[in-house]
Chain A
Amino acid sequence: MTRQISAFAAGLLFGCGLLVSGMADSARVLGFLDLFGIWDPTLAFVMGGGLTVTFLGYQWCLRRSGPLCAVHYQIPQRHDVDARLFVGASLFGIGWGLVGYCPGPALLAGAAGLGTALWFCLAMGAGILCWRLLERNSWLPAKAVKG
Chain B
Amino acid sequence: MGLAGGALIGAAAVLLMLANGRIMGIAGIVGGLAQEPRSTDTAWRLAFLAGMAVPAVIASALGLFPVPAQMGLGMVLVAGFLVGFGSRMANGCTSGHGICGLARLSPRSLAAVATFMAVAGVTVFVIRHVLGGV
Contact = CB atoms under 8 A, between A and B. Distances in A.
Interface of A: 2-28, 30, 33-37, 42-55, 57-58, 60-62, 64, 66-76, 78-81, 84-104, 106-109, 111-114, 116-117, 119-132, 144, 147
Question: What is the interface of chain B mostly: helix, strand, loop, or mixed?
Answer: helix
Contacts of A33: 117, 120-121, 123-124
Contact of A120 (B22, B79, B108, B120): B79
Contact of A92 (B21, B86, B108): B86
A70 B4 contact: no
Question: What is the interface of chain A mostly: helix, strand, loop, or mixed?
Answer: helix
Contact of A25 (B66, B117, B128): B66
B99 A51 contact: yes
Contact of A98 (B5, B78, B84): B78
Given A17-B9, A79-B106, A108-B52, 13 more contacts: A11-B49, A53-B10, A75-B23, A76-B106, A78-B91, A94-B123, A95-B83, A97-B124, A102-B26, A107-B30, A107-B49, A109-B68, A117-B68
Interface in B4-34: 4-24, 26-27, 30-31, 34
